[in-house]
């Protein structure tokens, strides 16, 4: 079975050495007044909970899975006890509003804990992550009475929150949804309809489940403008906060999935269930995006977390497994063979994993720093943070999960035949991480959002401004000893991304299918450039200390690997983007007849 050890040293590197998070927290008006001492304590305890409480449930939870009986869902053995420990430790409300019982920890820090949970127990973590997202939505858009009633038990982990969007006939196209909400006396609504793919829609971990449901009022217009948002609790909630009778909300079945067997993915039936309107009618999808965007960043962390655990398993195996001899001569002359770590292809796979993971951790920290600036900053800093969050969220979701799957497959490959066998745990990570490219908006949808709604919609202003800042940084550090080795490739890469962005802006009007045909390659191009920039920054931090410290030496060598073996993909991706859509669209539909 795979063991897990939280990568605390690299997390601290990203927080304090790359982004000076402690100095940032000191100047921002964050209610919890976080310090480096507090952050380190949270990281240490989060790592302990992940390794000792959650990690032992990864394989058993996968093998047992959730069970559905007579409308009730039962989680695997150990989940209830682990969830109680997790909730009582305050981990569910870590980033929540302190006015209602949350701890107000900055997102840069809480995201590190999310990554640990994703590594140690991805299926388990979904219940808590969705609850945090539901609480964020209610805090942003709920009425004061709703916040007082629902937020404290959500932050405490006594209740859970879930998002209810998808219907069988309407996946991404939410404008087609049919769930109805009819006004009742007393300001409540009766909801009728069926939702599918509802993660955590029913479970036995919490005493109540708060469903956030998209539905239509009787006179609502067609399309997304007619969607409203409703709170629909599993058990009705009395004015004093106590639980009342069971609401007309029932789990009709659960899905049998490729992975994440410990999380319940439910069909939920609303049979005249009582609900409460959130905000204004017709603004439901706008409100739901608050939660969806939170979950998209969290899904990216799931990809990163699975990759980290796969890398740990593969690296341990490569040091212990004896097979063949090093081409330069035996390194284990007294043994029957050398460890497979001596072989170039094994090292290539492990270095690719490491480059993705540590680059991804730095990128996630950067995006979450922008979330903190957008929330707590002032003036131009706040506006810039919000703009960068909007631009980079689809990359955080899609690029991190694409690389997460690739890294998990590489980890499995390092183990060879043993990687295909259940007892080693590597095949489970491949199965678990695969959904991360699909839910919360497929990665193709994320790419369309990046290129169409973010870059083309504002004529590239936010993206081009970011490219300019990368160039400014490069100019400011070029004279540092050894910098040009890392800065030079990044300048070439960002210039190529810049020119490709301008090419798209100049051609999209005459070739509107360019957005659809080039979006995924453009997102990959953008993500590689961002990773290159952050790896260059990491290398410059490591350079002065690499000769005397093994951590910095490894960081520097991994940066060199990324520059030489990963960043060159930028040129190929740019060429793919700058291809007329006819290469994709010209073929006739009949060519797909089977």
Express each pLDDT in 429-453 by its tens digit: 999 999 999 999 999 999 999 999 9
Express each pLDDT in 210-241 by its tens digit: 999 999 999 999 998 999 999 999 999 998 99
In angstroms, the CA 256 to CA 203 distance is 15
Is residue 366 in a domain?
A: no
Q: In this structure, are 555 and 479 located in the same domain?
A: yes
Q: pLDDT band for 173, please (50, 70, 90 cuts).
A: confident
534-541 average pLDDT score: 98
Q: What is the pLDDT of residue 18?
A: 98
Is a pLDDT exceeding 90 seen at residue 174? no
Q: Which of 440, 485, 510, 547 is catalytic?
A: 440
In angstroms, the CA 90 to CA 305 distance is 21
Q: In this structure, are 25 and 59 located in the same domain?
A: yes
CB 40 within 8 A of CB 16: no
Question: How far, CA to CA in Å, does 114 sit from each of 125, 212, 413, 567, 593?
Answer: 8, 22, 26, 28, 44
Q: What is the pLDDT of residue 172?
A: 76
CB 356 within 8 A of CB 411: no
Alpha helix stretches (DSSP H) within 94-249: 107-141, 144-156
Is residue 408 in a domain?
A: no
Q: What is the pLDDT of residue 170?
A: 80
Domain with 248 in it: what CATH number? 2.40.110.20
Q: In this structure, are 117 and 31 located in the same domain?
A: yes
Contacts of 110 (CB under 8 A, 6+ apart): 94, 95
CB 39 within 8 A of CB 22: yes
Express each pLDDT in 385-421 by its tens digit: 999 999 999 999 999 999 999 999 999 999 999 999 9
Q: pLDDT band for 7, please (50, 70, 90 cuts).
A: very high
Instruction: Give the bridge partners for 193, in sequence order.
Output: 270
Domain housing 63 = 8-152
What is the domain count for the chain? 3
Is a pLDDT exceeding 80 seen at residue 454? yes
Domain end point (choices 224, 258, 287): 287
| Dmax (CA) of the chain | 84
Q: What is the pLDDT of residue 171?
A: 73
Would you call 43 helix, strand, or coil by DSSP? helix
Is residue 310 in a domain?
A: no
Q: pLDDT band for 175, please (50, 70, 90 cuts).
A: confident
Q: pLDDT band for 1, please (50, 70, 90 cuts).
A: low
46-58 average pLDDT score: 97
Domain end point (choices 287, 302, 330): 287
Domain with 105 in it: what CATH number? 1.10.540.10
Is residue 3 in a domain?
A: no
Q: In this structure, are 505 and 573 located in the same domain?
A: yes
Q: What is the pLDDT of residue 101?
A: 96
CB 134 within 8 A of CB 210: yes
Instruction: Give the bridge partners for 183, in sequence order.
Output: 189
Domain end point (choices 250, 270, 287): 287
In the chain, what percentage of residues exceed pLDDT 70?
100
178-188 average pLDDT score: 94
Q: What is the pLDDT of residue 176?
A: 85
Of 233, 237, 157, nearest in space to 202 by CA:
233
257-282 average pLDDT score: 97
Q: What is the pLDDT of residue 112?
A: 98
Is residue 359 in a domain?
A: no
Active site residue 440: yes
Of 530, 562, 373, 379, nearest in space to 450 by CA:
530
Q: In this structure, are 114 and 163 located in the same domain?
A: no
Q: What is the mean pLDDT of the chain?
A: 96
Q: In this structure, are 75 and 12 located in the same domain?
A: yes
Give me the numbers of helices (H) and strands (E) for the chain, helices first please: 18, 11
Q: In this structure, are 116 and 245 located in the same domain?
A: no
Q: In this structure, are 148 and 204 located in the same domain?
A: no
Q: In this structure, are 147 and 14 located in the same domain?
A: yes
In the chain, what percentage of residues exceed pLDDT 90?
97
Is residue 465 in a domain?
A: yes
Q: In this structure, are 83 and 36 located in the same domain?
A: yes
Q: In this structure, are 25 and 145 located in the same domain?
A: yes
Q: In this structure, are 116 and 175 located in the same domain?
A: no
């Amino acid at each position: 079975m795979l063991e897990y050890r939280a990568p605390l040293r690299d997390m601290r590197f990203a927080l304090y050495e790359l982004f000076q998070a402690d100095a940032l927290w000191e100047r921002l008006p964050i209610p919890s007044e976080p310090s480096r001492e507090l952050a380190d304590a949270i990281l240490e305890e989060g790592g302990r909970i992940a390794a000792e409480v959650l990690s032992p449930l990864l394989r058993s939870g996968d093998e047992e899975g959730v069970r559905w009986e007579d409308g009730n869902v039962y989680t695997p053995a150990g989940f209830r006890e682990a969830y109680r420990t997790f909730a009582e430790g305050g981990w569910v409300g870590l980033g929540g509003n302190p006015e209602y019982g949350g701890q107000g920890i900055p997102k840069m820090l809480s995201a590190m804990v999310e990554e640990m949970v994703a590594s140690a127990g991805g299926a388990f973590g979904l219940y808590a992550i969705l609850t945090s997202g539901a609480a964020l939505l209610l805090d942003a858009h709920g009425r004061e009475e709703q916040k007082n009633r629902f937020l404290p038990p959500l932050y405490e982990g006594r209740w859970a929150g879930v998002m209810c969007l998808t219907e069988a006939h309407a996946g991404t196209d939410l404008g087609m949804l049919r769930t109805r909400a009819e006004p009742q006396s007393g300001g409540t609504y009766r909801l009728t309809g069926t939702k599918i793919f509802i993660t955590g829609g029913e479970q036995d971990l919490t005493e109540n489940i708060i469903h956030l449901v998209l539905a239509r009022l009787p006179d609502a217009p067609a399309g997304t403008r007619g969607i409203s948002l409703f709170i629909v609790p599993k058990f009705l909630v009395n004015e004093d906060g106590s639980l009342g009778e069971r609401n007309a909300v029932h789990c009709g079945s659960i899905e049998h999935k490729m992975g994440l067997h410990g999380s319940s993915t439910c069909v939920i039936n609303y049979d005249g269930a009582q609900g409460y309107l959130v905000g204004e009618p017709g603004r439901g999808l706008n409100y739901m995006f608050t939660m969806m965007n939170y979950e998209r960043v969290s899904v990216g962390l799931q990809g990163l977390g699975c990759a980290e655990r796969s890398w740990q398993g593969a690296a341990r195996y490569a040091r212990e497994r004896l097979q063949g001899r090093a081409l330069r001569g035996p390194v284990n002359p007294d043994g029957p063979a050398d460890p497979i770590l001596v072989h170039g292809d094994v090292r290539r796979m492990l270095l690719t994993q490491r480059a993705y993971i540590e680059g991804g951790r730095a990128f996630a920290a950067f995006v979450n720093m922008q979330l903190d600036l957008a929330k707590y900053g002032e003036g131009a800093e706040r506006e810039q943070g919000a703009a960068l969050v909007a631009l980079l969220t689809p990359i955080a979701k899609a690029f991190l999960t694409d690389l997460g799957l690739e890294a998990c497959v590489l980890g499995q490959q390092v183990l060879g035949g043993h990687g295909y066998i259940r007892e080693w745990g590597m095949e489970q990570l491949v199965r678990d991480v695969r959904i991360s490219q699909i839910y919360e908006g497929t990665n193709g949808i994320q790419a369309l959002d990046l290129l169409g709604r973010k870059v083309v919609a504002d004529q590239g202003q936010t993206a081009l401004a970011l490219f300019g800042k990368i160039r400014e940084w490069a100019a400011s550090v070029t004279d540092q000893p050894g910098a040009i080795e890392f800065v030079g490739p990044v300048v070439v890469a960002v210039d190529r991304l810049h020119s490709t962005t301008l090419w798209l802006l100049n051609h999209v009007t005459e070739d509107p299918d360019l957005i659809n045909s080039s979006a995924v390659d453009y997102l990959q191009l953008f993500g590689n450039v961002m990773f290159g920039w952050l790896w260059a920054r990491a290398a410059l931090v490591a350079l002065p200390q690499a000769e005397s410290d093994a951590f910095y030496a490894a960081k520097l060598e991994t940066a060199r690997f990324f520059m030489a073996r990963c960043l060159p993909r930028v040129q190929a991706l740019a060429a793919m983007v700058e291809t007329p859509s006819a290469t994709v669209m010209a073929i006739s539909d009949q060519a797909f007849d089977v």
